[in-house]
Structure 1
Amino acid sequence: MLVNFFYTTSIHLGKRYHVLRSSDQDNFGKEFTPLSIHLRDLIESGSHQQSVRKSGPCVANFIDYFHIASKYITPTKSAINTVFREYHSYLTAGEDSFSETVRKVCETKPSPKVENSSSFNYHMQIIPFLKDLKNIYQTYEEYIENGLTADQPETSQLIDSLMKITPSMSKISKYEKAAMAHHITPMTAGSCKKQRRASYTGHIPYEESFAKTIEEHQFFPLDRITDLINNASSFRNACLYALIAATNARDSEADQILWQDINFSTREVLLRNPNTRSHPSEAYRGISEIDRNRLEWKGRGTELTVLLEPYGTLFFKKLEDYLRYEYKPSCGHNFVFHDKYGKPLFLCDYSTVILHQFKQAAAKALSDQPHLARRLGLHSLRHSNIYFFKNYLEHSQGQGLSDSELILLTGHSDIRSLQKYAKADREMLLEKIFLANHMRKNGNIKSSIEFQVKYLEERLEIFKNELKKQRKTEDSI
């Protein structure tokens, strides 16, 4: 929530960006030009539309916070840097912050109270703006000299204060040194030999996300996905759910597919990068350049998809129904999915058109688990697909695909991203250790073969009991 400003939008080189304007009575509607300069610079440097879209609100929210906080401090370099580093406390602790300044800010600008990882991501959008402030200010002065913007004393004072923010020297962690040694780009710059580095985020607790396993509320129960598809409010939605469950496509990859990406004879689906299509003007006919720049692509490394059953079969079945009863051939574009008016689905409001209808179908499919249904989103179907392939897929060499095999299916750019799907492996490890300790504690030391047989027998009994409980629950519904 902005207190001192509000947004409008503008277009530069075919891409939309946020324009921050003052809501002050005396300066109402006046543009905060430095942010506009920064966002236009991002566009000119080739940043994707989604990056520009995220950067605007993140920087604007910080400027709004800083503008309020500046009223409660003396404008010394030390105090200004403290206010900057307290922004993390504002984002995560809010009115419970240790800082009196942050608590005062929260009286007029409530904190979103996000997690550490979200705070870090917000800061990653702010830092490029702070680093480039001197160049931005030079451009801002040129605009004033050429009459392209009006001189605003409040803006000049605000920029002068922002320009006093400097990075601190932080110790390089062992993780970062190891990452640099293996040519993995972490969140740092510098040499492996250095012990400290300049950082704007050294005060923010770093959270290693790769090793954090997915929780129950992050993947859709495998045995209920078919129910979800059958409870969809339209054939279009049923197709979309089945496609993601079958291919582990991201939401944006699924709702942007074109008819030419589907081979009905071989029953294959390709997920293609919009930026690498050979004839983009033909492929994306019917939409403007501005809308074309809104197409998302998060770096999927392969077009290959392997359809997981029964969702692959359900996708093609529901697709036939969608074509017969809902698809509008006169829509004027090549996208498979559109709303009831023919507008491409990727251009529709995600919350109302996609997420809300998904949650309605999830509530019906998980009527016995309403707490879980409320927490799940469309992306949970991608998690379910990868979770299955990682842990349960039976094949000639055992069970579950290796990370090197999975990366060919999921399109992840970093193999470490697949670690979080190994939840079953971790549970099995803990069970093995518990069983071994129990047996050895009771003086029952067996050979390795005897131990393995005993372990498998007991684990089989556990699964049998779980299956009985599940069937009992289904019979009672």
Structure 2
Amino acid sequence: MLRSPTDSKRLSAPHVDLLETVRDGRRTFRLLSDDKLQNTFFDNWAYQLSRKLKYKTVSTYCYAVKTMLNYVAEVAFQNGGLTPDLLANALETYESFLVFGTSSSTQMVQNAARVLGDRKLSGSSVVTNFAGVNRFIDASEMLRRGLIELEERGAITSASLSGFSLQTTVKISAPEKVRSAIKSSSWLAGCIAGGAKRIKSAGLSPISKPSELAFTDEFGGDELAFPIDKCVELIKKAPSLRDKVLWSLIAATGCRVSEALTMLVCDVVPNAKDYGSSKVFIVDPVTRHNVLINYMSEEDISQLSHKGRAHTETYMIEPFASMFWIALAEYKQAEREKEKKRLAPVIHKFLFRNMKNGDPMPLSYQTVYERFTKVALEVTGETYGFHSLRHMYGYYLVNHCVNPNQNSSRRYGLDLHQVQKYMGHSQVSTTKRYARQDAQMLHATLAAINLAKLGGGPRTVREARIAYLKDELSILENQILEAA
């Protein structure tokens, strides 16, 4: 897109844009710019990503690269063309563009942001953006090295491609006729001229880390965990039997909503005589591609959002487990009645179905999410998503679940490694983000240590915890009496 240097109109993508497409059954992206070679390079890079990563990650990385390419192109446009030094400078200031934009202390960043708009990314978003951009930079560097090798062997003459030799670092100012393949101001030309180095974060925006402590309210909820005392009411208010089954399943097992939506009927094994021995298994779709291909297209399978799960077993907590099994029986009966009225039978084996046509729902996250958040807001007055049920589950297991291990020093709360298994994490460090220690109990423990040193009050941690719990019990009893 051509603009005059005095044009100050803010545009979202003045130089390059993305087009979503399908290639060999995989959802990917194509680059739209006036540099055909750059477009082809990006298209192949994005396609290779789609073969290895989930669609959501591919989309995030491609849009990150689009942002970076537009920034580099705008910097080149405003400075009369791209040189290796200018490219290096643009990459060095890219984080400032993402975080500060028009508020940056660097004039070059300010000027570009006035046209491209501010991004105002947080620290974690910058890290994600850099992950995609650095992958692209690595691929660009591999291309540059490959072209150098081809030129050294006499297979190509780089000047015929871009107007300069790969062996030198020069300003790109050759006549138009010798720059027919690569545009002088393009990212690819700059990479070939001098190579692009990976971007290192300067930490301009801090990365917020979730607290390892849970400061829960009187209902057992906080900014992350859904209030466990409100969860029964939430499930009862589900607008449909399908939603009731889905919500109670996530509350009882702590599974991800993406895992729930890809469950097959055979993953749920009820025992009518003893519901305590009933089982729910969560299976990674990657391990049964040969089954899913019977009900889904290759394109849809590639879009499934699954982080991988180290264990298929689940540990179901009450009362949500009982609510799940009861709702499941009602849901299956209702689906059988619907089946009698359908012109064509449902052939897929997914547990959750579209309520109107019976289609599978592995990619229908937005539909079920909106129904959940609406009821959650009605019940709690706060905004919660499905992941809050997973946080609730982890918090309960670590702090309040009865410990079946008689040899453990803890009567309540499972070992973190057990929680790791039930939440399906490959590393215990991930579990810590979801299963956080109760801040009030930690406060009681620290108080015991201080009091023991001062010589007054409880002298041991155990005594302090008992005193704390007695005090809490007294407060709760008074609250119950006042509410009666």
TM-score normalised according to structure 2 size? 0.75
List aligned pairs for 1:260-409, cutoff 5 A. 260-265=266-271, 266-277=277-288, 280-325=289-334, 329=339, 330-339=345-354, 340-348=356-364, 350-351=365-366, 353-366=367-380, 370=381, 373-374=382-383, 376-395=384-403, 396=406, 397=408, 398-409=411-422
In structure 1, what is the equivalent of residue 90 of structure 2? 83
- The 3-state SS of whatever aligns with 1:345 is coil
In structure 2, what is the equivalent of residue 200 of structure 1? 199
Cα distance in 2 between the residues matched to 1:464 and 1:155:
76
Q: Aligned partner of 2:114: which letter?
A: E
Uncovered stretches (5+) of structure 1, i.e. residues with no partner: 168-198
Give 1:438 deviation, angstroms: 5.9
Q: Aligned partner of 1:69: which letter?
A: V
Please say if residues 259 and 282 of structure 2, whose CA atoms lie closer than 8 Å, have aligned partners that are also in contact. yes
2:29 aligned residue (14, 18, 27): 18
What do the CA deviations read for 1:31-79 (whole angstroms, capped 9, x no partner)?
A: 83221111123345x4444443332222222222322233344634344
- The 3-state SS of whatever aligns with 2:437 is helix
Matched, 1:428 2:417: no
In structure 2, what is the equivalent of residue 108 of structure 1? 115
Please say if residues 229 and 238 of structure 1, whose CA atoms lie closer than 8 Å, have aligned partners that are also in contact. yes
In structure 1, what is the equivalent of residue 475 of structure 2? 465
Cα distance in 2 between the residues matched to 1:38 and 1:471:
66
Cα distance in 2 between the residues matched to 1:447 and 1:364:
43
Rg (Cα) greater in structure: 2
Q: CA 1:326–1:362 in 2, change beyond 3 Å: closer, same or farther?
A: farther
Cα distance in 2 between the residues matched to 1:467 and 1:314:
28
What do the CA deviations read for 1:390-448 (whole angstroms, capped 9, x no partner)?
A: 111122441111112112211111111222345435543344334544675xx544684
What do the CA deviations read for 1:268-326 (whole angstroms, capped 9, x no partner)?
A: 1111111222xx44454232122122223212100001211111121222223333335
- The 3-state SS of whatever aligns with 1:18 is strand
Give 1:123 deviation, angstroms: 0.7
TM-score normalised according to structure 1 size? 0.76
Cα distance in 1 between the residues matched to 2:109 and 2:358:
47
Q: Aligned partner of 2:431: which letter?
A: L
What do the CA deviations read for 1:179-199 (whole angstroms, capped 9, x no partner)?
A: xxxxxxxxxxxxxxxxxxxx6
Q: Aligned partner of 1:236: which letter?
A: R
Cα distance in 1 between the residues matched to 2:462 and 2:201:
47
Moved more, 48-57 or 398-407: 48-57
Cα distance in 2 between the residues matched to 1:43 and 1:319:
36
Q: CA 1:62–1:68 in 2, change beyond 3 Å: closer, same or farther?
A: same
- The 3-state SS of whatever aligns with 1:394 is coil
Q: Aligned partner of 1:381: which letter?
A: L
Q: Aligned partner of 1:291: which letter?
A: D
Q: CA 1:264–1:423 in 2, change beyond 3 Å: closer, same or farther?
A: closer
Cα distance in 2 between the residues matched to 1:345 and 1:400:
35
Give 1:233 deviation, angstroms: 2.0
Please say if residues 32 and 39 of structure 2, whose CA atoms lie closer than 8 Å, have aligned partners that are also in contact. yes
List aligned pairs for 1:93-132, cutoff 5 A. 93-132=100-139
Q: CA 1:73–1:390 in 2, change beyond 3 Å: closer, same or farther?
A: farther
Q: CA 1:284–1:155 in 2, change beyond 3 Å: closer, same or farther?
A: farther
In structure 2, what is the equivalent of residue 182 of structure 1? none
List aligned pairs for 1:125-144, cutoff 5 A. 125-136=132-143
List aligned pairs for 1:169-208, cutoff 5 A. 200-204=199-203, 207=207
Q: CA 1:468–1:413 in 2, change beyond 3 Å: closer, same or farther?
A: farther
Cα distance in 2 between the residues matched to 1:136 and 1:213:
47
Cα distance in 2 between the residues matched to 1:287 and 1:107:
45
Cα distance in 1 between the residues matched to 2:100 and 2:478:
45
Please say if residues 269 and 279 of structure 2, whose CA atoms lie closer than 8 Å, have aligned partners that are also in contact. yes
Q: Aligned partner of 1:338: which letter?
A: R
Cα distance in 1 between the residues matched to 2:94 and 2:368:
33
Q: Aligned partner of 2:84: which letter?
A: K
In structure 1, what is the equivalent of residue 64 of structure 2? 58
In structure 1, what is the equivalent of residue 237 of structure 2? 231
Q: Equivalent pairs: percent with the same residue? A: 21
Q: CA 1:64–1:384 in 2, change beyond 3 Å: closer, same or farther?
A: same
Cα distance in 2 between the residues matched to 1:91 and 1:153:
27
In structure 2, what is the equivalent of residue 195 of structure 1? none
Matched, 1:413 2:429: no
Please say if residues 235 and 326 of structure 1, whose CA atoms lie closer than 8 Å, have aligned partners that are also in contact. no
Q: Pairwise CA RMSD of aligned residues?
A: 3.5
Q: CA 1:402–1:36 in 2, change beyond 3 Å: closer, same or farther?
A: same
Give 1:7 deviation, angstroms: 3.0
Q: Aligned partner of 1:399: which letter?
A: Y
In structure 2, what is the equivalent of residue 161 of structure 1? 190
Please say if residues 93 and 111 of structure 1, whose CA atoms lie closer than 8 Å, have aligned partners that are also in contact. yes
What do the CA deviations read for 1:435-470 (whole angstroms, capped 9, x no partner)?
A: 544675xx5446845x74355214431354257558
Give 1:231 deviation, angstroms: 1.7
Cα distance in 1 between the residues matched to 2:374 and 2:45:
41
- The 3-state SS of whatever aligns with 1:331 is coil
Q: Aligned partner of 1:61: which letter?
A: T
In structure 2, what is the equivalent of residue 247 of structure 1? 253
Please say if residues 451 and 459 of structure 2, whose CA atoms lie closer than 8 Å, have aligned partners that are also in contact. no
Uncovered stretches (5+) of structure 2, i.e. residues with no partner: 1-11, 151-155, 162-178, 216-221, 272-276, 340-344
Q: Aligned partner of 1:331: which letter?
A: V
Give 1:381 deviation, angstroms: 0.8
Q: Aligned partner of 1:123: which letter?
A: F
Moved more, 153-162 or 330-339: 153-162
Cα distance in 2 between the residues matched to 1:111 and 1:468:
53
Please say if residues 183 and 189 of structure 2, whose CA atoms lie closer than 8 Å, have aligned partners that are also in contact. no
Cα distance in 2 between the residues matched to 1:288 and 1:29:
31
Cα distance in 1 between the residues matched to 2:326 and 2:237:
15
In structure 2, what is the equivalent of residue 41 of structure 1? 48
What do the CA deviations read for 1:229-276 (whole angstroms, capped 9, x no partner)?
A: 122222212211111111111121111101111112353111111122
